């Protein structure tokens, strides 16, 4: 799961490659590297850690050349060291790779037996040796690359340069995405259009199995069967401008504060404010007759799906199943004939989510997607797509993408309910009014920032934190725990409040902060009892509720944060804001890397 870029042109390649890598850093930041052709010779520079470290290496030891490839890594095979950083190279060929070569061990054993000496612990290095094997048998670079690629199992997007071939970059893909940029007297390869955005607007995407030969004059593409093919070139709308943090100290905080605006932007494209009617773009699904909806996602997007299940079932009476995409793929799912599968993803590039949606389609389901990145693979592949209008999300921890996903899902649930005839116009207007109020109410919640910052002191010092909730509040609890652990590294768990007594209550002692998500809805009494149970055992509760809930139980809690009273339908969107802010402030107090936490990447493009 990495970002790759390639360039062949007239200008010095190095600054262009570094700039492209910065745009791809969301795909991983364990190490970075470049290789260029300098008077026909392969030269490379690599550094462990972020691209800034590579820039420091280049400042000491610059790299010339107008043909080159670059890589930013999220380690899969081998530690994030310089030795394992891409490009992997020898005197003949340099290779950058995004994906996983599943048969690398077998290939490596054969190559070692043939006398090849490996320098890294990566799966990628087998490609260098395979290509070298075929070059030394006298094959031309394109033939050698095609032969090598034919032996690989797994998922990959590759870019390669060859010693003595200054007018050639070879790319190949299977599973992982690869875009070609057409410039004037220059050609580019990149993991996505964003990497290439400042270089050219003319983009084409390779199909699975394609191998491309780039020269300064253009691209020659062969498909998996070896046939010469053309892939359509489109004008991309992706804008590659650098996104600033404004006056905020971190992207994550800026993105938390953008939520009233981006939820409003998202609503504007789905709800008519005058008639309070939901109007969705045409989707190839008849919700009136839909027998089953399968939701597929990972991480925070999966939490949005969990919340949506409550909505689709209670409001629209649609039978719904929710799966973690990586589990769905391997559990032989039985799906209803004529059903639909809806994948939810910020990036639209998450490998597991993509593969799960492809499987659902193979199983006869209409493939739908909710994505934030309009030109992502998921958006391009789905039969119907709804966009969240969160704008670019840079912080690795998802915030505004998550709340805008909930916004779209809420609108979709209302539209499905209307189509199925299970709500009347009055109820639709009431639900739409509730969701239309959300931007203003989220802005109110943000006013508790200073208080949440104080409460974060206790969280930051904790060795373990629990989040409890029921119904949609349970999914918010899961999201709160995920946010906290990914940016503070404090073990945190979210539990269905009613499940505590079946085991987790044994964890409770005086030292574990427990955040209770408890809007005064129909489940309030039940959650309240569970809260009493943990308090009775010495638990210190941070109570998130509305005025009524705090009036009733606030005295029992160590601290309370008052969330505006809203229709229970939209409560999960509001209750997400305090758990985001608690995690953010706790991370700042602990001094972790808030926007790029260790071991993570913004877009998870490997299985
Ligand atoms: C958590 C987070 C991840 C993503 C997950 C899915 O803060 O950001 O859990 O939600 O990797 O990513 P997308 O939505 O891009 O498919």
Check whether 540 has a pLDDT greater than 70: yes
Given a contact cutoff of 8 angstroms between Cβ atoms, the answer to whether 563 and 574 are in contact is yes
Q: What is the pLDDT of residues 472-502, one digit of tens each?
A: 999 999 999 999 999 999 999 999 999 999 9
Choose which residue among 192, 297, 301, 402 to substitute to test ligand 1 binding: the one with the highest number of ligand atoms within 8 A of its C-beta: 301
Given a contact cutoff of 8 angstroms between Cβ atoms, the answer to whether 293 and 342 are in contact is yes
What domains can be seen in the chain, in order of their start residue?
A: 3-235 (3.60.20.10), 244-436 (3.40.50.10490), 444-594 (3.40.50.10490)
Check whether 278 has a pLDDT greater than 80: yes
pLDDT at position 458 is 97
What is the percent of the chain where pLDDT is above 70?
100
Residue nearest to atom 16 of ligand 1 (CA): 345
Quick one: average pLDDT of 543-569?
96
Mean pLDDT score across all residues of the chain: 95
Give every CB contact of residue 192 below 8 A, 6+ residues apart in sequence. Answer: 3, 24, 177, 179, 238, 349, 375, 376
Please indicate whether residue 482, judged by its CB atom, sits closer than 6 Å to ligand 1.
yes
pLDDT at position 242 is 67
Quick one: average pLDDT of 153-158?
94
pLDDT at position 236 is 87
Q: Is residue 602 annotated as part of the catalytic site, yes or no?
A: yes
What span, in angstroms and rounded, lies between the C-alpha atoms of 327 and 319? 20
pLDDT at position 326 is 95
In the sheet that holds 293-297, the strands lie side by side as 320-324, 293-297, 340-345, 366-371, 384-387
DSSP label at 244? P
Nearest-atom number in ligand 1 for the CA of 299 is 9
pLDDT at position 1 is 65
Give every CB contact of residue 425 below 8 A, 6+ residues apart in sequence. Answer: none
What span, in angstroms and rounded, lies between the C-alpha atoms of 309 and 514? 25
Nearest-atom number in ligand 1 for the CA of 353 is 16
Q: What is the pLDDT of residues 207-253, one digit of tens each?
A: 999 999 999 999 999 999 999 999 999 998 877 776 778 899 999 99
Quick one: average pLDDT of 335-363?
96
Q: For the whole model, what pTM was predicted? A: 0.90
Cα 325–Cα 326–Cα 331 angle in degrees, nearest 5: 95
Residue nearest to atom 8 of ligand 1 (CA): 398
Please indicate whether residue 345, judged by its CB atom, sits closer than 6 Å to ligand 1.
yes
DSSP label at 563? P
Closest CA to 521 of 574, 593, 584: 574
Q: What is the pLDDT of residues 457-476, one digit of tens each?
A: 999 999 999 999 999 999 99
Report CA(346)–ligand 1 centroid distance (Å). Answer: 7
Cα 309–Cα 310–Cα 311 angle in degrees, nearest 5: 90
Give one DSSP letter per residue of 98-159, joined into a string: EEEETTHHHHHHHHHHTT----SS-STHHHHHHHHHHHHTT--HHHHHHHHHHT--EEEEEE
Read off the pLDDT band of 190 (50, 70, 90).
very high
pLDDT at position 604 is 84
Please indicate whether residue 596, judged by its CB atom, sits closer than 6 Å to ligand 1.
no
Cα 239–Cα 240–Cα 241 angle in degrees, nearest 5: 100
Choose which residue among 299, 304, 307, 396 to substitute to test ligand 1 binding: the one with the highest number of ligand atoms within 8 A of its C-beta: 299
pLDDT at position 237 is 83
Q: What is the pLDDT of residues 301-344, one digit of tens each?
A: 999 999 999 999 999 999 999 999 999 999 999 999 999 999 99
Catalytic residue from among 50, 201, 483, 602: 602
The neighbouring-strand residues paired with 46 are 33
The neighbouring-strand residues paired with 468 are 495, 516
What span, in angstroms and rounded, lies between the C-alpha atoms of 329 and 362? 12
Please indicate whether residue 299, judged by its CB atom, sits closer than 6 Å to ligand 1.
yes
Catalytic residue from among 2, 14, 204, 411: 2
What is the percent of the chain where pLDDT is above 90?
90
pLDDT at position 207 is 94
* Helix, strand, or coil (residue 278): strand
Q: Tokens 């599943």 map to which residue?
A: 102
Q: What is the pLDDT of residues 52-108, one digit of tens each?
A: 999 999 999 999 999 999 999 998 889 999 999 999 999 999 999 999 999 999 999
């Amino acid at each position: 799961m990495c970002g790759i870029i390639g360039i062949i042109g007239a200008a010095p390649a190095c600054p262009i490659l570094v700039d492209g890598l910065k745009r791809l850093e969301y795909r991983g930041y364990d190490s970075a590297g470049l290789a260029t052709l300098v008077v026909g010779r392969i030269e490379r520079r690599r550094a462990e850690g972020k691209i800034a470290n590579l820039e420091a290496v280049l400042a000491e030891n610059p790299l010339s050349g107008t043909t080159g490839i670059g890589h930013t890594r999220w380690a899969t095979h081998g530690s994030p060291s310089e030795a394992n950083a891409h490009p992997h190279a020898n005197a003949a060929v340099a290779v950058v790779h995004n994906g996983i070569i599943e048969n690398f061990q077998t290939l490596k054993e054969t190559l070692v037996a043939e006398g090849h000496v490996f320098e890294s612990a990566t799966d990628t290095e087998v490609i260098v040796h395979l290509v070298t094997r075929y070059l030394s048998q006298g094959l031309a670079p394109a033939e050698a690359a095609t032969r090598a690629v034919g032996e690989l199992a797994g998922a990959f997007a590759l870019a390669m340069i060859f010693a003595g071939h200054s007018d050639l970059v070879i790319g190949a893909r299977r599973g992982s995405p690869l875009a070609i940029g057409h410039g004037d007297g220059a050609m580019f390869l990149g993991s996505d259009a964003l990497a290439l955005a400042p270089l050219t607007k003319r983009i084409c995407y390779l199909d699975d199995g394609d191998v491309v030969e780039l020269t300064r004059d253009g691209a020659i593409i062969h498909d998996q069967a070896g046939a010469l093919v053309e892939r359509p070139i489109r004008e991309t709308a992706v804008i590659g401008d650098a996104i600033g943090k404004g006056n905020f100290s971190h992207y994550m905080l800026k993105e938390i504060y953008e939520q009233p605006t981006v939820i409003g932007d998202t609503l504007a494209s789905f709800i008519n404010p005058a008639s309070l009617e939901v109007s969705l773009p045409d989707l190839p699904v008849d919700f009136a007759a839909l027998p089953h909806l399968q939701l597929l996602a990972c991480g925070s997007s999966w939490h949005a799906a969990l919340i949506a299940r409550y909505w689709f079932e209670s409001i629209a009476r649609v039978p719904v199943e929710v799966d973690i995409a990586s589990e769905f793929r391997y559990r032989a799912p039985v799906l209803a004939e004529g059903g639909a599968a809806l994948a939810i993803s910020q990036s639209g590039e998450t490998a597991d989510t993509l593969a799960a949606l492809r499987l659902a389609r193979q199983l006869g389901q209409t493939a739908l997607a909710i994505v934030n990145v309009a030109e992502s693979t998921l958006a391009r592949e789905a039969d119907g797509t709804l966009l969240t209008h969160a704008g670019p999300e840079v912080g690795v921890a998802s915030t505004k993408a998550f709340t805008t996903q909930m916004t779209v899902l809420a609108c979709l649930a209302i539209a499905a309910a209307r189509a199925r005839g299970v709500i009347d116009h009055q109820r639709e207007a009431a639900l739409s009014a509730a969701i239309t109020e959300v931007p203003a109410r989220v802005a109110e919640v943000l006013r508790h920032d200073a208080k949440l910052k104080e409460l974060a002191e206790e969280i930051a010092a904790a060795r373990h934190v629990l989040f409890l909730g029921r119904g949609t509040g349970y999914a918010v609890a899961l999201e709160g725990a995920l946010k906290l652990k990914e940016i503070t590294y404090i073990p945190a768990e979210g539990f269905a409040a009613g499940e505590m007594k079946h085991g987790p209550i044994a964890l409770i002692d005086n030292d574990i902060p427990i955040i209770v998500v408890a809007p005064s809805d129909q489940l309030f009494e039940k959650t309240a009892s569970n809260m009493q149970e943990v308090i009775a055992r010495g638990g210190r509760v941070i109570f998130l509720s509305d005025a009524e809930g705090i009036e009733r139980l606030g005295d029992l809690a160590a601290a309370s944060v008052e969330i505006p009273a809203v229709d229970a339908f939209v409560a999960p969107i509001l209750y997400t804001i305090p758990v985001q802010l608690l995690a953010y402030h706790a991370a700042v107090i602990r001094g972790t890397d808030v926007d790029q936490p260790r071991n993570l990447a913004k877009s998870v493009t490997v299985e």
